[in-house]
Structure formats: C-alpha cells, structure tokens
Amino acid sequence: MSDFVIWSAPEEPYIEHIKKTIEEWKKIKDRMLPVLCRLFSSNKYSINDFVEFLIVCHDIGKLTYHWQQYIHKPTSERKSGPPHATLGASYLILSKDGSDLSNSSALAILMHHTDSGLAQGNLEHPAEDAISRGLVDYRTDAIRWADGAEDTFKETVEFLSNVVALNPLSSVTIQSLEEMALKLRGWSRCPKEIERHKHRLQALSIHHILKVCDWRAASQRSQQEDEEGETIDKDKIHWKESILKVYLEGGLLP
C-alpha cells in the first residue's frame, strides 16, 4: 500500500475524482447517448459502458510514482507536471477492440488536458516524453507505478455499471505507447477524406463529453489550487455560475 493517499489533484483522492466524473456522466448521458449511437452505429448500452470505461481510464497516468511525487509537493514546487494522458490512452487501446469508439476514446484522453482540441505531442512522441519526464524505471524500461496504484485502479473499476476484465497496469509499456501513437495516427489520417471527417467528429464528440464530465467533477473540489499550483477562482470555474455554463452542461439546456 502507498505511504500516502493517491491524489488526483491537491488533497483530492484519486478514487473520489473518478467517482464524481462518472456521476456527472450519468447526469447528462440521456442527452448524449442518442447522438453517440448515431455517430458510432451502436446501441446505448454499449456506448454507456464504453464511456464509463473511458472515464475510469482517463487519469490512469496519475497513478505513476513520479506523478504522485509531483502532486504531493508544496505549491511553490509544483509547475509543469509530468505527462499522464498517454498512459491512459495506451491502456484503453490495449483493453479494447480497435473500433472507431476505442480510437476516438483514446484520442479524447490524449486531448483532454491540452485545451486545444489537438493531441499535440501526446500523439507524436509519447514514449520519448515518458522517458524524458521520469515515468520510466531506467533499470527495467518499465513504467514506474506508485505503491498501491493497482489497488487504487481496481477500486475505481467498481464504479462501472458492468464488470470488465482488466489488464494489469504493467501492460502499459514504452512499446505500447509507441504502438498506440502509430495506430491513432493511422486512424485519424486515413486516406479517404469522408472517413477522416467522420473520425474527427467521433473523436471530438467523445472529447467533449470527457471534458464536460471532468470539469464538472473538478469544480466540486474544495482545494483552492489546481495541479500546477495556480490559485483557482471558484466563482469563475464552478459550472453553475460559469460563463461556460452551456458547455459544461453538455451544450444543452438543463
């Protein structure tokens, strides 16, 4: 077990954030599922299960030893945290079947902290970033996970509506990061223009949902600092009062 509580953000337990994010999805899913069913030619039960799994995967990279050391530092020492989105995207790709929904969800994870609608370096050089930013044990080339990471992850999986078979966190490797990036680059830049357009719509729709649920969950934090040590103005970010209210409510009226 870990010597400290595994955090998602300063003084916010990781498990609590995942639980709240899934709860936020449940509040808006009835509005979103009909569109997603059309975009992915699937049924609402399969889509719902996949979005829940996406939420459970999206912050897996925060379970690394280096990220936990970073987030437990004093505010003055917390600037530009290590990357974490690529590990969650890689885990999801390893766990699912390579469908449009799987690829869209992995891209959504890569984009969810860039705030630009693009995956940027997360899609171009994830393995190099993992090595250069200290996520890898140099003796073994394996991702170094925090003590208790596996148990913490398993606890978050209990929030899913349906049981899923789990790969161990150790399944995420330097090689899987490279393969994930190669696969997603091929999928997003496929030769047919109409297919590229469809893939963009699919990825952006999933990214929108992840961002909405993630932000709504984050707005409930009591701590006044974000991951980078910046002071949070609760009046500006809380979804009920925010100028981004429509966006944070899924782009729909209550």
Q: pLDDT by residue (tens digit) across 9-30?
A: 998 999 999 999 999 999 999 9
Kindly tell me if the per-residue pLDDT of 236 is higher than 80.
no
Backbone angles phi, psi at 173, to 5 degrees: -135, 175
Q: What are the respective helix, strand and coil percentages of the chain, to the nearest 5?
A: 60, 5, 35
Asked whether residue 120 carries a pLDDT value surpassing 70, the answer given is no
Query: Residue 133 corresponds to which tokens in the numbers above?
Result: 């930013």
Measured CA to CA, the distance from residue 238 to residue 157 in angstroms comes to: 27
Model confidence at 164, in pLDDT bands (50, 70, 90)? confident
Q: How many Cβ atoms are within 10 Å of 189's Cβ, its own excluded?
A: 9
Instruction: State pLDDT tens for residues 79-96.
Output: 878 989 999 999 999 999
pTM: predicted TM-score of the whole model, two decimal places: 0.88
Q: Which of 190, 54, 40 is nearest to 101 (CA)?
A: 40
CATH class of 7-248: mainly alpha
User: Residue 200: is its pLDDT beyond 90?
Assistant: yes
Task: Determine the Cα–Cα distance for residues 177 and 9; give it in Å rounded to an integer.
Answer: 24
Q: Which of 67-71, 134-138, 197-201, 224-228 has the lowest mean pLDDT?
A: 224-228
Mean pLDDT for 227-248 is: 53
**Model pLDDT, residue 26:** 96
d(CA 154, CA 62): 14
Q: Hey, where are the domains in the chain?
A: 7-248
